[in-house]
Structure 1
């Protein structure tokens, strides 16, 4: 197999046969001429069903995850919704992480529950707890590793064995790690989910999602439901994501370099009660992360020693770290999950600590990022 960056730049991408253009074209056409009734050219008839720019992106994403099939969506939640519509029916049960992404929890708890789908939050690092939560009706074990925003780590290979023994599928949200750092299909997962808005796109300029699988029948179902519901990205969004993914490897190396330095600095600062970063030897998931990840990622969370008020002051006190939701872009972001990305978990088992601060560490010069954080932390001591 070719190297990661080679696949990112070349998979599905060839010079235009007419002009020789080396970049993929943005095919804005909504419909395509047919050579007689049903005589489509390359299978294209209407861009909700298939679009040439989206096809190239899907080929690229499949190659990066080491999968046979990829499907690009208009958002990560669009991908999640489509997959769960297929895998679950009324009366079915799924397991979710006890610290799942707030948007995933909202979809499961507020939408799917209305259609008779049941769920159980579980610490997926506790394999006995997972086994105890499984039911005869369990169809899906939904995993994030690292989790958002507490940076928990789950052993994908072990989870795959437990899920498959129970007759369930293992789905891994690989958004935080990206396919550069981790390839869940190779570890036994059945489906990989991405919010390509984040590291894959990498520039905070496009919203998208993806599903990747080796299962031929499931891929056909995904394509059918996606076409039926219209959960597709536009051609320009597909092109932006495709372009962003070409530099994923070099960006992730810099994200990881900077995050490691940020985590080290935070660990020594008196305004910080604890740091959540799997790259730290004291992190409970450090050994598992070291086994299944290339490096430890660009996301760092921490608990402010002064509680909620200190956390809010820190979020308001940075200059290079922009106070904003989302993550994975080239610029550094800071947020208060309890009142921003994870507000939907308030009052539930998934509620996050009110002293929690989440950092998406960008690719700026590390010394500048450290100076920015120190100034904000020093101000609340």
Structure 2
């Protein structure tokens, strides 16, 4: 068992409320799913006895997959509820009888308010990736869920970081919890080699990406993170031209639900080697053996730096995380270094990479962003 499993399974099995601070890739899903399965044992009645809430549909599907794998020798019934597709099939599954529901907050409330879920039998409530749930503005829905579930129940809360908001949530949600912190907050996995390149503009970032794909010999699986959908599409189109359709998929909120699921599965099953993604679309995706992560943009939500590079070096394997940083992103990379309590080693742009001039508009955007950062830190800055 991993450290989080060793520490969390006994108190959860004893029925205590638990707050777990652990990054993705540490085996935390099993840390709460296994004791829940031990508690429920076998199918009973038609109404759910355990509810697991997660911020994104991708993560909900992933958790459901884990629950099914662990419950394979039981007759426990699990249903996953998420938006982006019509609720009809999901409601039919709930109506057939269910023991464990895995859901995103909005879709759970929709199905509940439509009268299809009886909550009075619930024994365990799990909030997974609580920090992301708050970042994404799901607190009103989470609070409504807390109003409709029984008072007497076991509560489990998992988060990769311990922000003030998460602290506040735990105070409202947990009763005398056992707090388990496996890694100090926001520490990247020890097995990840981090590199930082200062790159002046988008065109040069593309040139550097081209170079790395040619010279990094051991890229088995690569995730490339972009700040926006536009950037993700831009990088995706470049890679499509370079590598052809068979090598690369893209994942962002504009893609339909099925396309997103297909992209994740293709990447998981080694059908494609490269996945380009935005942060919201990628949180909590558990893909084994990602060898490299490239941050094409530095994330503005600093915690996302940890989540992104946590895609590699999972389950204690080694990995490489490379960040491209333009002048307007230095502010955020310094904040990320502060958060992880490490200085990221700087590498110079290789000789074979052509450094382009920054176009006038792009430079203007960078200057505006830098001024905004200065104002944020010093309200008197003019």
TM > 0.5 fold call: no
TM-score normalised over the length of structure 1: 0.38
TM-score by length of structure 2 reads 0.38
**In proportion to residue count, which structure has more helix?**
2
| Structure with more relative contact order (C-alpha pairs < 8 Å, separation 6 or more) | 2
